[in-house]
Amino acid sequence: MVEQVSWTFYGYQTPAGGKGVQEWFDGLLEEEKDEARDRIGYLQKLPVAQWRKPEFAPLGDGLSEIRFRVNTVNKVVRIYGCFWPKHLRFSYSLLLGAEKKVKNPSHHVAEARKRLSRLERNEASVHEFEL
């Protein structure tokens, strides 16, 4: 029997309560939000072994990205994230959202890694993400 999965998505939250990824998402154009919802909704029902390109790519050291294209505005969007909180099964946390302008912007990856490190050191937390 195949195990039914349903992932819960979280957003990075600063110690001061800032919800930057949620604010970034809320500020997207409606077409961009729809594509993000479609991509996340697609991954939400899949076992992690089926999370792969082009929708998802591991970046190493626990960091990964969810990717999607918004054809109406000719934009590629990446949401950097990680499988977090570790103690919760089927949980993935969104660390940073960004438009792809170059292959893999090192400053976006560096910032996402910093946020993951803060989670691992319990210096930041997550909130349930609202799509």
Does 106 reside within a domain? Answer: yes
**DSSP β-bridge partners for residue 80:** 65, 96
Does 1 reside within a domain? Answer: no
Does 2 reside within a domain? Answer: no
pLDDT exceeds 90 at position 79:
yes
Higher per-residue confidence, 106 vs 80: 80
Tens of pLDDT along 19-49?
A: 999 999 999 999 999 999 999 999 999 999 9
Does 3 reside within a domain? Answer: no
Does 28 reside within a domain? Answer: yes
Distance CA 86, CA 90 (A): 9
Q: How many CB atoms lie within 10 A of CB 125?
A: 16
pLDDT at 71 (0 to 100): 86
Whether residue 77 contacts residue 67, with contact meaning beta carbons closer than 8 Å, is answered with: yes
Label the pairing between strands 125-128 and 56-60: unpaired
> Structurally, how many domains does the chain consist of?
1
pTM of the model: 0.93
Tens of pLDDT along 81-126?
A: 999 999 999 999 999 999 877 565 689 999 999 999 999 999 999 9
Parent domain of 110: 8-128
